[in-house]
């Protein structure tokens, strides 16, 4: 569909026949539209008047850019399957040849490419992949994560200003150059849609304007243009573009008098891997520091999926309780290859156990096929950390030399480093050598690269571990005592002084309930929170100053985890009285990127998080 403010025709069809079209993009002169056919996974261009439809080749179109130096119009496309793909560009006029722009990391969202280029051609916004949103630098071949969110965008000028959509789908987090000066900007303040969810926002060719659709996924959704104020602190005005009975989805806007940025770069093929370290220290091949870190050893982005009740904590660490983290599929091959090449292995992790009543051993870090076939496992058996490691062809379960590594201190974040090479096994806790075993031979040629890396359980379940986990690094080769101590000091410095947060326990009556969102509403999200309204009956313990203002509170609670509605969500009904452990939502930045549903219209009461809602 098209709308021109100067031709007087109003909304009109540009392509009359229906198909699974996505993401229409204006060409830099505003005279043509580039779009994708999702079923065919091909890119097309058509004139604004609906004529001269032309095939531009395979892929999904993500952005258009005119090089101010050469005046060549480039189409940026994602080529490949879902996020395991390459960003390339091809000339709009001569689309036969592709130039690779980015293949250093996975990118975007499995359904929609998000790559968007700054006006000067130097930076781009994307996910690396979803939900790790941020900005990439085409001059250096590097990227930086800003937020765990969705639908990132970058301004069409040379400001490198970037925004990322919040999990509530009501606001964007907006950043200045380099991810600085973060602020929240509500993008659902248009009169007809105030307070409701919006979707499909996109920066136009003018940095002050963007398009957005609202209400989200509604037959009554319409397309709007919002205008930022001069300081990019708020939306100062809205223009409603459509008024029909159809659901609006992707939108783009072109302004004839938009400023044109000066080019800083043209053809850029970024480096595939960072330069090799000048030191002799062993570089890790798989890293997961936390949910906001780049987690990118040797040019490979490491990630995975949360399952069960696994979730992120206040410090973007893993909170594991009847849940697990499933590392990306290539982790096993990279780790086994490095172990065999270096004839040894070093495993580092920051671990805080919830209880000594964990046996089996309960799996903390495991590379295995099932509960009886593994390459290695670090687990917990009562008060001890335990190592199982495959030593040869007749030791599939790794139990022949099962070793107790050191003492578990419940509730304390312990830095554990296990290193094996040659015939020696060593374990360090908080930089101190606690276990050393000689004559400990391992035939790593028997290790299976197809085994998966799992955190906090075993494939198939049944070996669940409860606790907190972060700072995981796996390397091929051994680590010296000096390096082990240095790693602990680095980790301790990175943690910093982690302050606590006030908690209050209340007896409360449920007043208003938000239903759990449907799978269609959640799209690719696997977890969702809802906002429910409660009336405080009694404060059992603790104190939060904001609650003294009113006995009515808004509580965010888990409703969907791992794609499944929680049992307690199904039974929440008005009038129900329960005990809640609550903390102010401001103390939980990790929740900002989670999908959020809210049906109430109360905007005055304090908003708190039910920290135990995942268990009930």
DSSP assignment of 484-500, as one string? HHHHHHHHHHHH-----
Whether the pLDDT of residue 413 is over 80: the answer is: yes
| Number of H-type helices and E-type strands within the chain | 4, 42
Residue with tokens 């049906």: 599
* CB-CB neighbours of 181 under 10 Å: 11
Q: How much of the chain exceeds pLDDT 90, in percent?
A: 67
Residue 547 has what pLDDT? 63
The answer to whether 374 and 451 are in contact (CB under 8 A) is yes
Given a cut of 90, whether residue 303 has pLDDT beyond it is no
Mean pLDDT of 451-469: 92
Question: In which band, very low, low, confident or very high, does the pLDDT at 308 lie, cut at 50, 70 and 90?
Answer: very high
Contact 249, 20 (CB under 8 A): no
* 0.85 surpassed by pTM: no
3-state secondary structure of 391: coil
Helices (DSSP H) in 5-118: which residue ranges? none
Asked whether residue 294 carries a pLDDT value surpassing 80, the answer given is: yes
Rounded CA separation 153/133 (Å) = 9
pLDDT band at 281 (very low <50, low <70, confident <90, very high): low
Q: Which pLDDT score is estimated for 105? A: 80
What is the model's pLDDT at position 271? 40
Q: What is the pLDDT of residue 275?
A: 38
Strands 73-81 and 577-584: unpaired
pLDDT for residue 499: 84
Mean pLDDT of 149-175: 92
What tokens were used for 139?
């001059």
Which whole number is the average pLDDT over 395-408?
93
498, 428, 419, 294: CA torsion to nearest 10:
10
Question: How confident is the model at residue 235, as a pLDDT?
Answer: 96
Q: Which helix (H) or strand (E) holds 25?
A: strand 21-26
Sheet holding 162-165, edge to edge: 150-154, 162-165, 171-176, 180-186
Q: Per residue in 316-330, pLDDT tens? A: 999 999 999 999 888
**Weakest mean pLDDT among 207-211, 402-406, 544-548, 606-610:** 544-548
Q: Look at residue 267 in the predicted model and tell me its pLDDT.
A: 46
Within 10 angstroms of residue 123's Cβ, the number of other Cβ atoms is 27
Q: What is the pLDDT of residue 382?
A: 96
Give Cα separations from 33 to 50, 59, 79, 584 (angstroms). Answer: 9, 16, 19, 47
Residues recorded for the chain: 616
Do residues 430 and 377 lie in contact, with contact meaning Cβ atoms separated by under 8 Å?
A: no
Maximum CA pair distance of the chain?
Answer: 86
| pLDDT confidence tier of residue 549, bands split at 50, 70 and 90 | low
Task: Summarize the confidence of residues 392-414 as an average pLDDT.
Answer: 93
Predicted confidence at residue 274, as pLDDT, reads 37
- Of 377 and 301, the structure prediction assigns the larger pLDDT to 377
pLDDT tens-digit readout, 28-71: 999 999 999 999 999 999 999 999 999 999 999 999 999 988 89
Rounded to whole angstroms, the Cα distance separating 107 from 25 reads 19
**For the residues 419-448, what does the mean pLDDT come to?**
93
Average pLDDT, the chain: 90
CA angle, corner 108, sides to 594 and 170, nearest 5? 35
Question: What integer is the mean pLDDT of 163-172?
Answer: 89
* C-alpha to C-alpha distance for 595 and 530, rounded to whole angstroms: 8
Question: Dihedral of CA 154/155/159/164: which sign?
Answer: negative
- Is the backbone peptide bond immediately before 354 cis, with ω within 30 degrees of 0? no
Q: Band of the pLDDT at 546, cuts 50, 70, 90?
A: low
How far is the C-alpha of 233 from the C-alpha of 107, rounded, in Å? 28
Structure tokens at 58: 């395979």
Tens digits of residue pLDDT in 235-277: 999 999 998 878 888 999 999 988 877 666 544 444 444 333 3
Alpha-carbon distance of 224 to 204, in angstroms, equals: 12
Residue 521 has pLDDT above 50, yes or no: yes
Residue 25: predicted pLDDT: 97
Region 303-312 average pLDDT: 93
Q: Which two tokens stand for residue 488?
A: 């602990």
Per-residue pLDDT at 9: 87
Identify the helix (H) or strand (E) that includes residue 239: strand 235-240
Beta bridge partners of 256: none
Q: Give me the residue label for tokens 């830095």.
A: 415
Indicate whether 338 pLDDT > 90: yes
The token pair at 78 is 């994602």
In Å, how far from its chain's centre is CA 35?
A: 26
One-character DSSP codes across 288-336 = E--TTS---GGG----EEEEET-EE-TTS-EEESSEEEEE-TTHHHHHH
Residues of the chain with pLDDT > 70, as a percent, come to 95
pLDDT over threshold 60, residue 97: yes
């Amino acid at each position: 569909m098209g709308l021109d403010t100067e031709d007087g025709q109003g909304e009109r069809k540009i392509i009359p026949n229906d198909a699974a079209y996505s993401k229409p993009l204006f060409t830099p002169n505003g005279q043509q539209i580039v779009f994708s056919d999702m079923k065919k996974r091909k890119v097309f261009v058509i004139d604004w008047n609906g004529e001269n439809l032309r095939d531009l080749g395979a892929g999904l179109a993500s952005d258009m850019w005119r090089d101010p130096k050469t005046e060549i119009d480039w189409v940026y496309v994602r080529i490949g399957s879902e996020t395991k793909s390459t960003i390339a560009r091809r000339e709009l006029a001569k689309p036969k040849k592709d130039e690779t722009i980015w293949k250093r990391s996975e990118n975007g969202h499995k359904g929609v490419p998000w790559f968007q280029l700054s006006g000067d051609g130097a930076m781009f916004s994307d996910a690396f992949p979803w939900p790790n949103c941020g900005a990439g630098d085409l001059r250096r071949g590097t990227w930086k994560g800003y937020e765990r969110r969705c639908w990132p965008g970058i301004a069409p000028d040379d400001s490198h200003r970037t925004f990322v959509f919040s999990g509530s789908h009501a606001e964007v987090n907006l950043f200045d150059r380099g991810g600085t000066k973060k602020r929240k900007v509500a993008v659902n303040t248009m009169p007809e849609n105030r307070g409701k969810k919006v979707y499909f926002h996109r920066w136009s060719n003018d940095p002050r304007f963007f398009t957005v659709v609202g209400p989200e996924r509604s037959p009554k959704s319409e397309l709007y243009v919002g205008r930022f104020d001069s300081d990019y602190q708020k939306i100062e005005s809205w223009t409603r573009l459509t008024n029909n009975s159809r659901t609006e989805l992707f939108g783009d806007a072109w302004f004839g008098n938009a400023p044109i940025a000066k080019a800083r770069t043209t053809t850029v093929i970024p480096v595939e891997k960072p330069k090799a370290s000048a030191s002799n220290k062993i570089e890790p091949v798989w890293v997961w520091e936390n949910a906001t870190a780049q987690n990118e050893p040797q040019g490979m982005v490491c990630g995975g999926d949360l399952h069960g009740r696994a979730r992120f904590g206040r410090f973007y660490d893993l909170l594991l309780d009847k849940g697990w983290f499933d590392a990306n599929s290539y982790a096993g091959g990279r780790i086994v290859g490095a172990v065999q090449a270096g004839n040894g292995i070093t495993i580092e992790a920051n671990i805080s156990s919830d209880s000594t009543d964990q046996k089996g051993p309960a799996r903390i870090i495991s590379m295995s096929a099932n509960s009886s076939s593994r390459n290695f496992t670090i687990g917990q058996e009562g008060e001890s950390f335990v190592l199982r490691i495959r030593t040869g062809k007749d030791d599939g379960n790794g139990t022949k030399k099962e070793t107790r590594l050191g003492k578990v201190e419940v509730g304390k974040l312990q830095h554990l480093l296990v290193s094996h090479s040659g015939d020696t096994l060593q374990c360090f806790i908080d930089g101190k050598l606690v276990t050393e075993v000689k004559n400990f031979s391992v035939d790593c040629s028997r290790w299976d690269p197809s085994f998966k890396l799992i955190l906090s359980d075993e494939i198939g379940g049944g070996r669940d571990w409860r606790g907190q986990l972060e700072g995981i690094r796996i390397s091929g080769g051994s680590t010296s005592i000096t390096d082990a101590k240095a790693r602990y000091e680095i980790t301790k410095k990175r943690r910093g002084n982690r302050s606590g947060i006030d908690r209050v326990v209340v007896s409360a009556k449920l007043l208003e309930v938000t239903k759990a969102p449907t799978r269609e509403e959640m799209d690719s999200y696997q977890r969702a929170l809802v906002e429910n309204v409660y009336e405080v009956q009694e404060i059992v313990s603790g104190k939060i100053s904001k609650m003294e203002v009113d006995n009515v509170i808004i509580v965010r609670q888990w409703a969907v985890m791992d794609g499944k509605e929680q049992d307690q969500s199904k039974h929440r009904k008005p009038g129900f009285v329960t005990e809640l452990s609550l903390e102010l939502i401001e103390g939980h930045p990790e929740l900002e990127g989670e999908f959020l549903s809210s049906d109430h219209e109360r905007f005055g009461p304090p908003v708190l998080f039910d920290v135990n809602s995942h268990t009930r």
